[in-house]
């Protein structure tokens, strides 16, 4: 794997994080609070919903691909113990975050 390929595979996680931040900020800016009783324009709802659905699909592809590539790289790294520990921590945090999000959606 060349250096450029390594950088490209790592960039997907950053793109996912920045994209979710941007999508949530745009949703907060363009969609009014339900307490105000103001209905937003229907095209805005469709655009924000489409953006969130597309970004969720991208996330569901990019994050598992990132972890698959990272765990596949375990054989080639010089410091296997530290790399495995850090990757285990990353994977655990990602699984807990996903589980927490699913729990909070199902609970409400």
Q: Are 102 and 61 within one domain?
A: no
Residue 11 structure tokens: 């960039």
For residue range 45-67, list pLDDT tens digits in order: 788 888 888 888 988 888 888 88
Q: Is 72 inside any structural domain? A: no
Can you read off the two tokens belonging to residue 70? Answer: 């990272």
- Give domain status of residue 9, yes or no: yes
98, part of any domain: yes
* Higher-scoring residue by pLDDT: 108, 20: 20
pTM as predicted: 0.70
CB distance 21 to 51 below 8 Å: no
Structural domain boundaries enclosing 82 = 77-108
Cα(35)–Cα(80) distance, rounded to whole angstroms? 53
Per-residue pLDDT band at 28 (split at 50, 70, 90): confident
pLDDT in tens, 72-104: 989 999 999 999 999 999 999 999 998 998 898
């Amino acid at each position: 794997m060349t250096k450029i390929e390594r950088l490209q595979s790592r960039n997907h996680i950053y793109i996912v994080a920045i994209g979710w931040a941007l999508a949530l900020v745009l949703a907060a800016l363009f969609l009014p609070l339900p307490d105000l009783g103001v209905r937003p324009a229907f095209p805005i709802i469709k655009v924000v919903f489409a953006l969130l659905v597309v970004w969720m699909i991208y996330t569901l592809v990019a994050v598992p691909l990132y972890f698959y590539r990272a765990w596949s790289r375990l054989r080639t790294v010089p410091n296997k113990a530290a790399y495995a520990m850090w990757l285990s921590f990353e994977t655990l945090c990602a699984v807990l975050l996903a589980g927490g999000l699913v729990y909070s959606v199902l609970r409400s």
